[in-house]
Amino acid sequence: MEEQKFELYAPVRNTINKALGVVVKTAGENITVQPRSGDRITFRAQYLAPATPEEAAELAPLIDRLRRNDEERAKPKAPPDPALIRADFDKFLHHIAVRYPAQAKAFGEFWAEMLEAAGDHPGSTWEMKSHSAKNPGPVLKVYNDATQKWVYCLTFIAGWGLRIEIKKEFLPPGSEALFPIDHAMFGAGRAVELVYSRFTPEKRKP
């Protein structure tokens, strides 16, 4: 029997329980459907049939909503506001300074050195990124020539002291031997950890 083909946004009916839905993704014979309520579900095409005209009319509002949502997601996003990024960084530093003023001062100086090398362009060379900690932390980014995109390089997380995570693919050539351990940071395959308290000004010099 020839496999049933379904287009995006096609109104369909589950042949087993007669539930109605709208096609939101197709991958071969696997069809993902958004029902009128609840989460999306993926079916084999053989368990779906085109909705009748009456059923399609019932699904028309859902189809319109899905189309609008997809159109909104496809629109270019406004660039992040540098002032808001800087404000979030100030909160991050204040969060440290409340309990560890000396560390906050040291990190502020270190961060200034980092931006002097990488460029101080909030939203491009660095941003504040949410993670498992309570507050967003600063993330340094580098430009990937292969993908033509800015990608995350260094992540800073405030905690007991300060720790630095770095993806090893961004280490200078010949320096990987200094960081022999893989899978060191929260399952990141090629990330390494630098303990900030050991990262003295002397060691930060080129």
- Tell whether the model's pLDDT for residue 134 goes beyond 70: no
pLDDT in tens, 139-159: 888 887 777 888 887 777 765
Query: For residue 22, which amino acid is it?
Result: V
| Residue 120 reports pLDDT greater than 90 | yes
The answer to whether residues 137 and 165 touch, using CB atoms and an 8 Å cutoff, is: no
User: What percent of the chain shows pLDDT beyond 90?
Assistant: 40
Higher pLDDT, 164 or 48: 48
Q: How far apart are CA 23 and CA 10, in angstroms?
A: 5
Which of the two residues, 19 and 79, has the higher pLDDT score? 19
Question: Mean pLDDT across the stretch 44-65?
Answer: 94
Is the pLDDT confidence value at 178 over 80?
no
> In this predicted model, what pLDDT tens digit does every residue of 56-89 receive, in sequence order?
999 999 999 999 999 998 888 788 899 999 999 9
The span from the first CA to the last CA of the chain, in angstroms, equals 69
pTM above 0.75, yes or no: no
Residue 122: pLDDT band by 50, 70, 90 thresholds?
very high
Average pLDDT across the chain, whole number: 82
